[in-house]
Structure 1
């Protein structure tokens, strides 16, 4: 399997990832071959399901980068399928309460600690698990739930979310948060920035790693945002997405060539 995302989250070094929304293993290859540490397979907004995600995870494994999967909702069956496919971390959207976070964590763990369904024939165990006890212990250490907090109610309840036992990390969603706050996608708005800073601070106080999305395709703004959050103790960044990075590169090439004529 690929790198351990938990180890990357715990490291005090800058770690970069992105979103995979285009269902092409070649793009995951490119992410891994060009300096990124992880990618998040987007089964919420990406046009693909678990069958495709499993093959994208194989590309991540082949390039020795960590991989997570954003499920479409906080559903134990969706979370189980991702983990069984050998994708050790799930990003759970729209976490708004401590109860939401606890449900996500429970879905990553086998009984008696949780409610993950058990099967001895899945990719996460080499397709035939001969020693269930050893496998279950390994999965307990290897897997985790990442709470994506992206709404005004989530902001209000951030302290309880961050103190949920077993939570692997908190990811903050500035774009959705701006929509939830009635600011129409203006993730740069000062009220959004203040809310994001409060949530990052709450996670830091609780000792929970923060994954911070950085949407700007502009290299200067992106570096400034990374430096700003790094000074606040954040070390893990989700840079754009495959679509944002490719679209920006295409636009730069086309505009440069037009100007050169």
Structure 2
């Protein structure tokens, strides 16, 4: 099954990962072969479902990198399917309240402590679980929810969200937050940075690891952003996405060759 992302979240940084939005295991190969330590398989904005995500997770396994999956919404069935597929960490978009966070965490726990459906024949248990009690103990220790806070409402509720027991990490979405704030995608705006800085401080105070998206296609700007957030206690970064990095490389080649 997939590597333990939890260990990366608590290790000394910088720890670099990216988003997988291209439905190709070869792209995950390239992510792993070029030094990234994890990827987040994006089933919210990527145009694919859990069947493809499972195969991308296999590619992550083959390249010895960790992975998580971002589900389209905070739905216990979608979370269950990701966990049953052996993807141990699930990113939940658009958390806006402590109730949202608690519902997501409950979806990783079996009854009577949670909402996760139970099946002894799934990839996470080797397709036939012979000792259910041992499986439950191990599974609930290794799976985790990464809450993505990306709206004004989520920003307002961040202290209550941070009090939720069982969150493995938090992520903050500056692009969506800028849209929610009426800033039309201007994720560099000072008000966006101030809001995210406040949320990072709340997570740090609650001893919840932070995964910080860094969107810029410019490596120099990425470095500056990483340095800023590392001063705030962030060590784990989600750099661009496979699409952003590939597009940047394509543009570098075409621009350079056009000038010869």
**Pairwise TM-score range, normalised by the shorter structure:** over 0.9
- C-alpha distance in 1 between matches for 2:113 and 2:60: 29
Q: How big is each residue's C-alpha offset from its partner over 1:47-103, in whole Å with a ceiling of 9 and x where there is no partner?
A: 100111111110000011111000000000000000000000100001000000000
**Secondary structure of 1:39's partner?**
strand
Partner of 2:12: 12
The match for 1:27 is 27
Offset of residue 12 of structure 1: 2.3
Q: The residue matched to 1:176 in structure 2 has which SS?
A: helix
Give yes or no for contact 2:18–2:239 (8 Å, CA) kept in 1. Answer: yes
Any stretches of 5+ residues in structure 2 without a counterpart? none
Q: Report the TM-score, using the length of structure 1 for normalisation.
A: 0.99
Aligned to 2:229: 229
Aligned twin of 1:61: 61
Q: Name the SS for the 1:168 alignment partner.
A: strand
With normalisation by structure 2, the TM-score equals: 0.99
Q: 1:259 Cα shift? A: 1.6
CA distances 1:117-171 after superposition (whole Å, capped 9, x unpaired): 0000000000010111111111111100111000000000000111100000100
Other-structure match for 1:259: 259
Q: CA deviation at 1:112?
A: 2.1
Query: Which structure 1 residue ranges, 5 or more long, are not aligned?
Result: none
Paired with 1:14 and 1:131, the residues of 2 have a C-alpha distance of 39
Structure 2: distance between partners of 1:140 and 1:99: 20
Paired residues of 1:79 and 1:107 also in contact (CA < 8 A): yes
Q: Deviations over 1:174-202 (max 9, x none)?
A: 00000000000000000001001000011
- Which runs of 4 or more aligned residues in structure 1 lie more than 3 Å from their structure 2 counterparts after TM superposition? none
**CA RMSD of superposed structures (Å):** 0.6
Instruction: Check whether the contact 1:23–1:48 (CA below 8 A) recurs between aligned residues.
Output: yes
**How many residues are matched?**
260
Aligned runs of 1:27-176 on 2, under 5 Å? 27-176=27-176
Inter-partner Cα distance in structure 2 for 1:139 and 1:15:
24
CA contact (8 A) 1:2 1:62 kept: no
Deviation at 1:2, TM superposition (A): 2.5
